[in-house]
Amino acid sequence: GIQVEQSPPDLILQEGANSTLRCNFSDSVNNLQWFHQNPWGQLINLFYIPSGTKQNGRLSATTVATERYSLLYISSSQTTDSGVYFCAVGNQAGTALIFGKGTTLSVSS
């Protein structure tokens, strides 16, 4: 099956810093989503981005499908950005998402 690798596994930032999270996948995909899991376990959908670039406030994401990677950019990080960021992909219509192991982000004030 498709493999999903996220890097780095852990990231520690000072408030206000910028960061880039990476997601590599082993096969072509028709679905790619970025999630933020908060301390209560809720998965917050950040982006649905099987290809191209999107921006939402301080967050943006780019997926280069031909090179099988996606990047999540967080600018001017805040303490509320702390948590685990997951990349998840699907490579067939109607199938489940396969999750990477996540990047744990800690932002301190």
Give the amino acid at 6: Q
To the nearest whole angstrom, how small is the minimum distance from the Cβ of residue 8 to another protein?
15
- 39 binds another protein per the rule CB under 8 A: no
Of 31, 63, 82, 91, the one binding another protein (CB under 8 A) is 31
Binding site for another protein (CB under 8 A): 30-31, 33, 35, 40-43, 45, 48, 50, 86, 88, 90, 93-102
